[in-house]
């Protein structure tokens, strides 16, 4: 019997955000007791080198589940090949008013408008430093809501300065739909300026710390092919190391008429699977074959993970699938991808 199948009806009876916090606390306790293998199974060892880093397997945790990096060791015990935490901003911020997370179980989906709620980069770094796990750790950075979009670069550089020393790689989130105007940074001149500034600062930090930390850009599924191609060109020009495709969608076609479908925010889960795959395919068509693509969006089964890789992903990440299918999904996907070549 899948232990998560017993817990899920209880969790789904709670407010989604309350269930989220309760689950993280439960994972922490289970990790301290050494009990997580009962729900997650044995970790899959399928080492792969990407971005110059050695990943235990190809299945990672997407950013957003652990915004403050406070649960790294417990989450790593679920068998992930890598962990990404954040999004973190320079200053603490509460995010958007509650309620701000909604389940759409008929489509195995979520809508969230969290708004980068986090305790700020100083608390984030303190949590990361306390973690004992020494696997691949991605630190995801963003901008504060009160920072004008014209000054967004300042926030990203401030975060990069603080997290650089502690990151295996740094993910740059410009694609959340829940921070006003943030997605404007995906366009032409704004993205050119941001990536140029990040690359320049990265060079300075690499000299300071004696280590070049890879940078990955996280983009939206709501881009047309021309926009994807323009982003791909800038990724290469600025020597960005990977792209994460994709964040949540603002489209509602797949959930029209369902309860909560009209709530503002980003839609994740099964409905974003194909839009994400479309962006991945276009990135793979446009970018050099060896350029790393981290595929995320709507993975709810081992077959879904295989489809992401078939579309062109090098690695994959999970989030909403964990909520609907439980932590055993990590091992199922990792086993399905063991020994598989990407793209």
Active site residues: 176
DSSP state of 7: H
Cβ(179)–Cβ(117) below 8 Å: no
Beta bridge mates, 136? 82
**Alpha-carbon span 72 to 83, nearest angstrom:** 7
Q: What is the per-residue burial (b if ≥16 Cβ within 10 Å, else e) of 315-327?
A: bbbbbbbbbbbbb
The torsion angles phi and psi of 217, rounded to 5 degrees, stand at: -105, 130
CB atoms within 10 A of CB 1: 5
Cβ(3)–Cβ(38) below 8 Å: yes
Q: What is the DSSP string of 134-170?
A: -SEEEEEE---TTS-GGGHHHHHHHHHHHHGGG-SEE
Nearest by Cα to 46 from 343, 341, 342, 334: 334
**Alpha-carbon span 313 to 316, nearest angstrom:** 7
Nearest by Cα to 215 from 227, 203, 226, 225: 203
Nearest by Cα to 89 from 44, 38, 123: 123
DSSP state of 316: E
CA distances in angstroms from 301 to 18, 121, 135, 297, 331, listed in the order given: 25, 34, 24, 12, 10
The number of angstroms, rounded, from the C-alpha of 267 to the middle of its chain's C-alpha atoms is 14
**Alpha-carbon span 131 to 39, nearest angstrom:** 22
């Amino acid at each position: 019997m899948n232990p998560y199948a017993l817990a899920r009806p209880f969790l789904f009876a709670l407010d989604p955000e309350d269930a989220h916090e309760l689950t993280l606390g439960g994972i922490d306790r289970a990790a301290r007791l050494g009990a997580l293998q009962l729900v997650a199974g044995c970790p899959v060892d399928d080492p792969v080198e990407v971005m110059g880093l050695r990943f235990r397997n190809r299945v990672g945790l997407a950013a957003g589940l652990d915004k403050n990096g406070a649960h790294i060791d417990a989450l790593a015990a679920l068998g992930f090949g890598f962990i990404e935490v954040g999004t973190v901003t320079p200053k603490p911020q509460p995010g958007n008013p509650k309620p701000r997370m909604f389940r759409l179980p008929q489509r195995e989906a979520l809508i969230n408008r969290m708004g980068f709620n986090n305790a700020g980069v100083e608390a984030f770094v303190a949590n990361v430093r306390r973690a004992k796990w020494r696997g691949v750790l991605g630190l995801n950075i963003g901008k504060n809501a009160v920072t004008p979009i014209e000054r967004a670069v300042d926030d990203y550089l401030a975060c990069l300065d603080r997290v650089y020393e502690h990151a295996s790689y740094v993910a740059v989130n410009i694609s959340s739909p829940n921070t006003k105007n943030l997605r404007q940074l995906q366009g032409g001149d704004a993205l050119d300026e941001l990536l140029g500034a990040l690359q320049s600062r990265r060079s300075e930090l690499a000299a300071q710390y004696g280590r070049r930390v890879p940078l990955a850009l996280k983009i939206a599924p709501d881009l047309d092919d021309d926009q994807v191609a323009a982003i791909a060109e800038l990724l290469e020009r600025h020597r960005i190391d990977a792209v994460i495709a994709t964040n949540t969608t603002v489209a509602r076609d797949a959930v029209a008429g369902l309860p909560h479908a009209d709530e503002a925010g980003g839609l994740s889960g099964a409905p974003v699977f194909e839009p994400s795959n479309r962006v991945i395919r276009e990135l793979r068509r446009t970018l050099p074959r060896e350029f790393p693509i981290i595929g995320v969006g709507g993975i709810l089964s081992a077959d879904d993970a295989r489809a992401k890789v078939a579309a062109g992903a090098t690695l994959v990440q999970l989030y909403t699938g964990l909520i609907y299918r439980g932590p055993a999904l990590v091992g199922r996907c990792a086993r399905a991808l063991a020994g598989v070549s990407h793209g």
